[in-house]
Structure 1
C-alpha cells in the first residue's frame, strides 16, 4: 500500500498505542483530489469524533480540483465530516477507550491499495518531557546511523 498523505504531527503530539485501518466514505471529486495531493490534515488538527455508534473524520480539508464543480447543483464542501467504515467490534472497542481519561483517536495516514483507506491510531497525549525524549532518541539514532555509514 502506498502512503498518500501523512499526519506527522500525530506522532509528535501523541504516543500511538494501537493502529487500525478504516474505510472512508468519499465522493468522486474527493477521491480525485486526494490522489492529486490536494488534501491535508490541517497541521495535525484533524481528529476522529465518535458519536452514535459511528466514527467521523473531522477537520480534514480536501481542496477540489479546478474543474470539479462544473455542472454540479450543490456546492462542494472541502471541510465536511467524513464517515469512517469500521467493524462494530472495532467501534465499541474504540468508544470504550475514548471514554477513558487521556485517550483519543487520531488519523495517521491515508493509504492507497485498491481503495483509499485511513490508518487511525488509538493514542494518548504526550507531555513536554515525553516530546523532548522522543526528539532526543531520534537525534541519537540519526547520529548512530551517520557514524555507522562512515565505516561502511
Structure 2
C-alpha cells in the first residue's frame, strides 16, 4: 500500500487560540470509522466547542462534530460520537500530569492528513482572561494598521 507524503489541514479550531494560551502541542492519531474518515477528508468536520478528556488511561475527544457521509447510508454513526485518541502510554501519563495542574486542559487544535492518515494536533492549553483577549485583539489590529500603511507607502 502506497501512502501519500503530503500534509493537508482538514479542520482547524481557530477559536482555541483566541480563548486559550497554547503551552504545548503534540500529534495524536484518532480512532475513526470508515465513513467518518471519508467525511473528514471531504472537510466536513467541526472542532468548535470540543475538548479532550482522560478517562481510564485513555484520551477521548468529546464534542467533535463529524457530519454524516452522504453516501454512507446505514454505516454512518452518531456525528457527536466520542472518539479515542491513539497515544503511547508514556505520552498519556505525561499529559495526565500536566492536566492535573490547575487551569490546564486538552484542546484539539486541528485535524490534518499525514501520510494518508488523519491526525489531531492536541494542545495543552491554559484559559485566557478577558483582558488577555482584548490585548490580543488590540495587537492584531495594530499589526493590520501597520501592514495597511506599508502597503499604501509602497504604492507611491
| Alpha-carbon distance, 1:150 to partner | 2.4
| Alpha-carbon distance, 1:101 to partner | 0.5
Match of 2:16 among 10, 17, 28: 10
Query: Which consecutive residues of structure 1, in runs of 5 or more, have no partner in the other structure?
Result: none
* C-alpha separation in 1, matches of 2:13 and 2:37: 18
1:84 maps to 85
Map 1:17-56 onto structure 2 (within 5 A). 17-41=23-47, 44-56=48-60
Query: Which consecutive residues of structure 2, in runs of 5 or more, have no partner in the other structure?
Result: 1-6
2:71 maps to 67
- Of 121-130 and 60-69, the range deviating more from structure 2: 60-69
SS in 1 for 2:73: coil
Deviation string 1:83-114 (CA, Å, 9 cap, x unpaired) is 10112222111111111100001010001122
| Alpha-carbon distance, 1:49 to partner | 0.6
TM-score by length of 1: 0.91
Contact persistence 1:47–1:106 (CA under 8 A): yes
* C-alpha separation in 1, matches of 2:125 and 2:43: 26
TM-score by length of 2: 0.89
* C-alpha separation in 2, matches of 1:28 and 1:89: 28
Aligned residues between the structures: 147
